[in-house]
Structure 1
Amino acid sequence: MVPFTKFGIHSLGKTKSPGPNARQLAPSLAKKPKGLVGGPHEQNMAAGRREKQETRKLDSSTTEANYWIVWKQRRHGVSVMIRSGFAASLALWSVVHVVVFTEGLPMAAAAGRIDSGDDDASIKHYYYTQHQRTVDAIARRHAAEFSPSPSPSSSLLPSYGADPTGKADSTAAIGKAIAEACAAATGQWLIAGVNNLGGAEVQLDGGLYLIDEPITLPVGSGNIKIHGGSLRASDEFPTDHYLIELSASQNGNSQTTSSGYNYEYVTLRGLMLDANYRGGGITIVDALRTVIDDCYIVHFASEGVSVHSGHETLIRASFIGQHITAGADPGERNFSGTGINLAGNDNIVTDVVIFSASVGVLVSGQANILTGVHCYNKANGFGGTGIYLKLPGLTQTRITNCYLDYTSIVAEDPVQLLISGSFFLGNANVVLKSVNGVAKGVDIVDNMFAGGGSGVDIVTLDGNFTSVDQVNVDRNTAEGMTVRATAAQAAVAGNGTKWTVDFSTVLLFPDRIGHVQYSLQSDTAFFRHALRNVSGNTVVIESDVAMQATVHVDVNQAPANGVIRKKVGILMEAVAEIDWEQLPNSTDSAMNEIGNDVLSLN
């Protein structure tokens, strides 16, 4: 018996015993065929014929999903048999069994096709060719079985006459494809007045299409996707429009739905939009749950993406820029336009890069979220802004984990604003701009700032703020910039009756301390001391006798318990009226009055 070794290889890398067909085949091949006569070549020919018979038997017993491919390598005396189960395509091999026969196993030959004069290379080439033909045939059969053809709701633009080379106008062809996709009504509805189109698709099929007019969708379209190609505005494209418009008014249609939302669940994915400096990229008006994903929007004159009214637009994993650049562009000071304009509520911008525009993101709607946004659109020094919050009095915006690259965040009269976990580079900072002098419920915490050492504050005030409440600027770090905060701590040591701690170089708001907590440490005898003044963001503490002591002071401009400066002023006035020289001989009435004032602050 000719010795052989069997290997069972599972698709997950675990050893598996050979299947029944392999067990049937291996013993029959391992036995030396009877009746072999003549020289080695004749024996090899006979063994080859017998092996082909065994293989035919095996082929007739296998199902269509299982195939045996026999390949012989004569030089090393190795026979490899591969069994493959196809699930969805040839690339998915579920089970592979390899049977290796060594030590003198007769070389299989194809009778009548390989003669004794053929060398090893010719025989190897023959079997490799047969093997490849079999694999190709299987691949073609399974590609036909498992590759779905486009459904009636899937529109391929070239079939509608669109020019994928970008030489001729394709506006009409694209419009026809969209109209046909939107006409395939399912009888189902999303929000009132919006058709559920069942996931209809308009595929740009990797083409570059030139358009003279905006691409629009009929009012009431929902659950539809446009994806997979490029659109470019022609030189005749109107400068007051956008390449893609989800808007009833923009396309001259005054029709609206009963719900007030004209579109729902429209997805724009995998698109490159080149506005050719003629208009904007995408505008979305009165739409619900719209998705802009994996898009590259460039060369806009007005806005890359504009969202007005509506609800819950997601803009994610996209690149937006007026000019194609990677920074330090010689024309940066001339950048114009806005990358993203959010004039609606409850929108989310995630993992977006804005690489050129005068304003990166302009927000004038409430309850929006920006996270993972990188703005290097136009440096502060050239008049640019990374994120501009233009909604004074009711901001309700969260900005987290963003990267402001030489561009700042500007917030007008911020009310309920969170800026956290972000990185500011190149003297980029946060600017609170006064319109009516209001700043309430603002948290600017846990950010990193890096500058050029010119003394730029990490947070600055533009104008005077008269109504300040619950503003917390704290736990930020800075390198090459000046830290500003609404809370600070300091200590001062001295010998005398007065200790002064100046917080004016640290505190954000001028002449505003809402809460003071201090402790006085001394090795001398017990003595009386009190907080005397907090004006000008300077804390003054006095004692009734001179001594060597260290004072530790903790101040806050907007304490969480709602202490307001007016009541602090009352306390300071009461303290100032004390006659410290006569204090040891006075009654306790003055101290009781001060104590009551302190209790009233809680």
Structure 2
Amino acid sequence: MGIGFGSLVADAKSFPPESFLLVVGTSGSCKFPQGSCNMDLNFPELFLDGSHVASGMQINNVMGTTIGPGGYFLNFSSYGVQINQGHEVMMDRCWLGETNFDFNYAKHGSPPKSTAIQINGNDHYILNTVVFSSLIGLEVNGAADYITGVHVWSPLNQALAFKDSMAFHVNGNQNRFNGCYIDGGRAVFEQSALSYNTWTNGFECCAAVDAPHGIFLRGDRIGPGLEIFSNIFAGGSIIHEPSSPGKLPTVVESRITDNSFSSAWQSSQATQSLTQVLAVSWNFDFCTELVFAQISRVSVSLQSEVGFPRHAVRPPQNCTVWIETDMPVTGTMTVHVDSSQPHPQAQPQHTGPVYTV
């Protein structure tokens, strides 16, 4: 069945408050083993206007549903699109806004309150979609969802003025984010999202409010399997927020590498080289380079002009490394560190850092 090429507009005076303009299925009612009782539905080029009293579309327990291409969801009260359970909802080339794109929240004294897209299920796809006004752009609470080419911004790029605003909010794991755009806001990973998620080929920039922005990792256990790599940060960074100030996380088999930053360069791995003359002590400080102020693994390479000196790596102190040689050395010491420790199922148990010479 297909419904599209037209408009549904809520009557601001009589539409039931907090209802949806279009609902497929009933949440929790499907008894089919895979939880998909509504199949093969298509919603192309559909315009939904909630008139600030209604939400847009709720999709429950489906298999094989396409939203778009060409969907436009405007003036929704709580949700633009909410996907509950089911499998294989594909949302493609849609535009969503709690308000129009030029709305000035500060001028009108009404902060944003809605979520443009919320996924409460597994195996769904959001493709080539733009959110231009909302409190939360895209919230992923399921697993194995695929998000690509999603651009989230806010009118006048004022999202950071609201402490609960998030361009992307991720609570589930085993999801893949490819080529997404954080435009003047935050992407927040917390709860189970701190493991087995991939964020790559993304872009971040353009905050109009003086507040930290970029990707936030909220929690005390990172990994295994969190991958953030090959992204561009044009102003923001990757920020760890522990449950209490100064608390160090447990970081297991996670990779935050190969990203480019215009400032505040951060990674889970770092490499430094130090050249000295007749030195027996070599000190390295990685505190400005690591997302997490700790070192779990150290690799050392020494190039000496003469002789065959031996060296000893002392236990790292937070994010610093101290190495001593048994004789004065003229040469270059290169140290590579990793904040992430090996997965206990893949490596022998260790009581301290792992050293590789």
TM-score category of the 2 structures, normalised to the smaller one: 0.7 to 0.9
* Equivalent residue in structure 2 for 1:339, among 101, 108, 116: 116
Gaps of 5+ in 2: 208-212
One-letter amino acid of the structure 2 residue matched with residue 544 of structure 1? D
Aligned to 2:56: 281
* Equivalent residue in structure 2 for 1:461, among 232, 237, 241: 241
**Superposition CA RMSD, Å:** 2.6
Aligned to 2:317: 535
Q: Distance in 1 between matches of 2:348 and 2:87?
A: 38
Superposed displacement of residue 410, structure 1: 0.5
Aligned to 1:433: 218
Superposed displacement of residue 329, structure 1: 6.0
Q: How many residues align?
A: 337
Whether contact under 8 Å (2:10, 2:51) holds in the other structure is: yes
Aligned to 2:210: none
Question: Which structure features the higher share of strand residues?
Answer: 2
1:359 has 2:136 as partner: yes
Aligned to 1:269: 44
Superposed displacement of residue 255, structure 1: 8.0
* Equivalent residue in structure 2 for 1:242, among 7, 11, 20: 20
* Equivalent residue in structure 2 for 1:474, among 254, 257, 261: 257
* Equivalent residue in structure 1 for 2:299, among 493, 517, 527: 517
Q: Quick one: structure 1 residues 327 and 418, their matched pair in 2 at CA, closer, same or farther if it must change by over 3 Å?
A: farther
Q: Distance in 2 between matches of 1:467 and 1:558?
A: 8
Q: Distance in 2 between matches of 1:256 and 1:525?
A: 75
- The CA deviation string for residues 559-593 of structure 1, in whole angstroms up to 9 with x for no partner, is 66856894445x78xxxxxxxxxxxxxxxxxxxxx
Q: Distance in 1 between matches of 2:333 and 2:179?
A: 38
User: Whose Rg is larger?
Assistant: 1
Aligned to 2:96: 320
- Partner of 1:225, secondary structure, is coil
Q: Distance in 2 between matches of 1:560 and 1:248?
A: 44
- Partner of 2:44, secondary structure, is strand
Whether contact under 8 Å (2:195, 2:224) holds in the other structure is: yes
Whether contact under 8 Å (2:251, 2:341) holds in the other structure is: no
One-letter amino acid of the structure 1 residue matched with residue 174 of structure 2? Q
Aligned pairs (5 A) from 1:118-129: none
Q: Quick one: structure 1 residues 295 and 348, their matched pair in 2 at CA, closer, same or farther if it must change by over 3 Å?
A: same
Q: Quick one: structure 1 residues 373 and 485, their matched pair in 2 at CA, closer, same or farther if it must change by over 3 Å?
A: same
- Partner of 1:497, secondary structure, is strand
Q: Quick one: structure 1 residues 248 and 515, their matched pair in 2 at CA, closer, same or farther if it must change by over 3 Å?
A: closer
Gaps of 5+ in 1: 1-223, 573-597
1:449 has 2:252 as partner: no
Superposed displacement of residue 279, structure 1: 1.8
Q: Distance in 2 between matches of 1:485 and 1:563?
A: 23
One-letter amino acid of the structure 1 residue matched with residue 112 of structure 2? F
Whether contact under 8 Å (2:95, 2:132) holds in the other structure is: yes
- Partner of 1:458, secondary structure, is strand
One-letter amino acid of the structure 2 residue matched with residue 424 of structure 1? E
Q: Distance in 1 between matches of 2:223 and 2:77?
A: 34
- Partner of 1:380, secondary structure, is helix
Q: Distance in 2 between matches of 1:343 and 1:255?
A: 15
- The CA deviation string for residues 14-55 of structure 1, in whole angstroms up to 9 with x for no partner, is xxxxxxxxxxxxxxxxxxxxxxxxxxxxxxxxxxxxxxxxxx
Q: Distance in 1 between matches of 2:241 and 2:27?
A: 40
Aligned to 2:166: 385
Q: Quick one: structure 1 residues 549 and 563, their matched pair in 2 at CA, closer, same or farther if it must change by over 3 Å?
A: farther
Q: Distance in 1 between matches of 2:146 and 2:30?
A: 31
Whether contact under 8 Å (1:497, 1:545) holds in the other structure is: yes
- Partner of 1:440, secondary structure, is coil
Q: Quick one: structure 1 residues 515 and 300, their matched pair in 2 at CA, closer, same or farther if it must change by over 3 Å?
A: same
- The CA deviation string for residues 123-177 of structure 1, in whole angstroms up to 9 with x for no partner, is xxxxxxxxxxxxxxxxxxxxxxxxxxxxxxxxxxxxxxxxxxxxxxxxxxxxxxx
One-letter amino acid of the structure 1 residue matched with residue 171 of structure 2? K
* Percent of residue pairs identical: 26
Superposed displacement of residue 548, structure 1: 2.8
Whether contact under 8 Å (1:273, 1:298) holds in the other structure is: yes
Whether contact under 8 Å (1:304, 1:320) holds in the other structure is: yes
Aligned to 1:410: 188
Aligned to 2:204: 424
Superposed displacement of residue 407, structure 1: 1.5
Aligned pairs (5 A) from 1:139-178: none
Aligned to 1:526: 308
Aligned to 1:10: none
Q: Quick one: structure 1 residues 261 and 458, their matched pair in 2 at CA, closer, same or farther if it must change by over 3 Å?
A: closer
Q: Quick one: structure 1 residues 288 and 560, their matched pair in 2 at CA, closer, same or farther if it must change by over 3 Å?
A: same
Superposed displacement of residue 381, structure 1: 3.4
Whether contact under 8 Å (1:326, 1:355) holds in the other structure is: no
One-letter amino acid of the structure 2 residue matched with residue 488 of structure 1? A
Question: Which structure features the higher share of helix residues?
Answer: 1
TM-score of the two chains, using structure 2 as the length reference: 0.86
One-letter amino acid of the structure 2 residue matched with residue 458 of structure 1? I
- Partner of 2:85, secondary structure, is strand
Superposed displacement of residue 271, structure 1: 1.0
- The CA deviation string for residues 525-555 of structure 1, in whole angstroms up to 9 with x for no partner, is 3322221231222111101223333211111
- Range with greater deviation from structure 2 (439-448 or 457-466): 457-466
Whether contact under 8 Å (1:248, 1:256) holds in the other structure is: no
Q: Quick one: structure 1 residues 443 and 551, their matched pair in 2 at CA, closer, same or farther if it must change by over 3 Å?
A: same
Superposed displacement of residue 287, structure 1: 1.3
Superposed displacement of residue 268, structure 1: 1.0
One-letter amino acid of the structure 2 residue matched with residue 432 of structure 1? L
- The CA deviation string for residues 193-222 of structure 1, in whole angstroms up to 9 with x for no partner, is xxxxxxxxxxxxxxxxxxxxxxxxxxxxxx
- Partner of 2:161, secondary structure, is helix
Q: Quick one: structure 1 residues 545 and 338, their matched pair in 2 at CA, closer, same or farther if it must change by over 3 Å?
A: same
Q: Quick one: structure 1 residues 362 and 303, their matched pair in 2 at CA, closer, same or farther if it must change by over 3 Å?
A: same
Superposed displacement of residue 491, structure 1: 1.0
* Equivalent residue in structure 2 for 1:507, among 290, 293, 308: 290
Q: Quick one: structure 1 residues 335 and 559, their matched pair in 2 at CA, closer, same or farther if it must change by over 3 Å?
A: same
- Partner of 2:223, secondary structure, is strand
Q: Distance in 2 between matches of 1:398 and 1:457?
A: 20
TM-score of the two chains, using structure 1 as the length reference: 0.53
1:229 has 2:10 as partner: no
Q: Distance in 1 between matches of 2:103 and 2:281?
A: 54
Q: Quick one: structure 1 residues 238 and 544, their matched pair in 2 at CA, closer, same or farther if it must change by over 3 Å?
A: same
Superposed displacement of residue 523, structure 1: 2.0
Superposed displacement of residue 256, structure 1: 6.1
